[in-house]
Amino acid sequence: MGRAVELRTPSHVPMVLTLGVACQIGQVVYLRELLMVFHGNELSLGVILAAWMVWVAVGSRLGAALLQRRDDALGWLRSGAAAVALLLPATVLAIRLLPGAFDVPPGALLSLADMALSSVVVLAPTTALLGAQFVFLARLWRERDQSVDASGAAKTYVGEALGNVVGGLLFTLVLVHHLDAFQASLLAGTAMLVLTLRLGQPRRALLAAGVGLALLPLLPQVEWWSAQLQWQLRAPDYELITTHRSRYGTIAVLRRFDQYSFFQSGHLVFSTGGVTETGVGLEELEGVAFAHVALTQHRDPRQVLLIGGGLRGTLREMLRHGVRAIDYVELDPVLVEAASPYLPAGTRAALADPRVRLIHADGRLLVKGGGPPYDLIVVDAPDPTTAVLNRYYTEEFFAEAKARLRPDGVLVLGAMSTPDLRGSAVANRNAAIYHTLRRVFPEVLPVGERYLFFFASKGEGQLSADAATVMRRFVEREVDAAGFSAGHLALLFEPGPLQRINWILRHHGRSPRAHLEPPMAAPLLPGTIEQLRVEEALLPPVHERFFVNSDFRPVVYYHTLLFWTGLTRGDEASVLRWIGRVQWWWVLPPLVLTILVGLALRIAVPTRRDAAPRFAVLTAVFTTGLSTMALQIALLFAFQSIYGFVFEMVGLIVAIFMAGLALGSALTHRFVPDPADRRLLTAVQGLVALVAVGIGGALPWAGGLEGAAEVFVLFASLTFVAGLLNGVDFPLATACYLALERRPERATAAVYGVELVGACCGAALASVAVAPVLGIVACCLLAAFANGTAFIVLLVGGARPLPESVVPVGGYV
Annotated catalytic residues are 380
Selection from 775, 766, 656 nearest residue 719 by Cα: 656
682: amino acid identity, one letter: T
Burial (0-12, 13-18, 19+ Cβ within 10 Å), 423: middle
What distances in angstroms separate CA 697 from CA 568, 629, 630, 690, one per listed residue?
A: 38, 18, 15, 11
Residue 612 to residue 625: CA distance in whole angstroms: 20
Selection from 683, 633, 673 nearest residue 657 by Cα: 633
Selection from 794, 799, 792 nearest residue 591 by Cα: 792
Q: State CA 371 to chain mean position distance.
A: 30
Q: The dihedral of CA 393, 397, 403, 404: what is its sign?
A: negative
What distances in angstroms separate CA 329 from CA 69, 409, 527, 616, one per listed residue?
A: 61, 18, 39, 54
* CA angle 336–339–345, rounded 5-degree value: 100
Residue 653 to residue 659: CA distance in whole angstroms: 10
* Torsion (CA) 753, 42, 587, 627 in degrees, nearest 10: 40
Secondary structure of residue 240 in the 3-state scheme? strand
Residue 781 to residue 572: CA distance in whole angstroms: 30
Contact 775, 552 (CB under 8 A): yes
Query: 423 phi and psi, to 5 degrees?
Result: 105, 130
Instruction: Concatenate the DSSP letters of all residues of 671-717 into one string.
Output: H-S-TT-HHHHHHHHHHHHHHHHHHHHHHHHHTT---HHHHHHHHHH
Selection from 772, 773, 737, 780 nearest residue 755 by Cα: 737
How many residues comprise the chain?
813
Q: Which strands form 451-457's sheet, in the order they lie side by side?
A: 356-359, 325-329, 303-307, 374-379, 405-416, 451-457, 443-448
Strands in 426-559 per DSSP E: 443-448, 451-457
Query: 625 phi and psi, to 5 degrees?
Result: -60, -45
Contact 457, 254 (CB under 8 A): no
Residue 557 to residue 102: CA distance in whole angstroms: 24
Secondary structure of residue 361 in the 3-state scheme? coil
A 10 A CB-CB count for 488 gives 17
Across 1-26, b (16+ Cβ under 10 Å) vs e yields eeeeeeeebeebebbbbbbbbbbbbb
Residue 124 to residue 43: CA distance in whole angstroms: 20
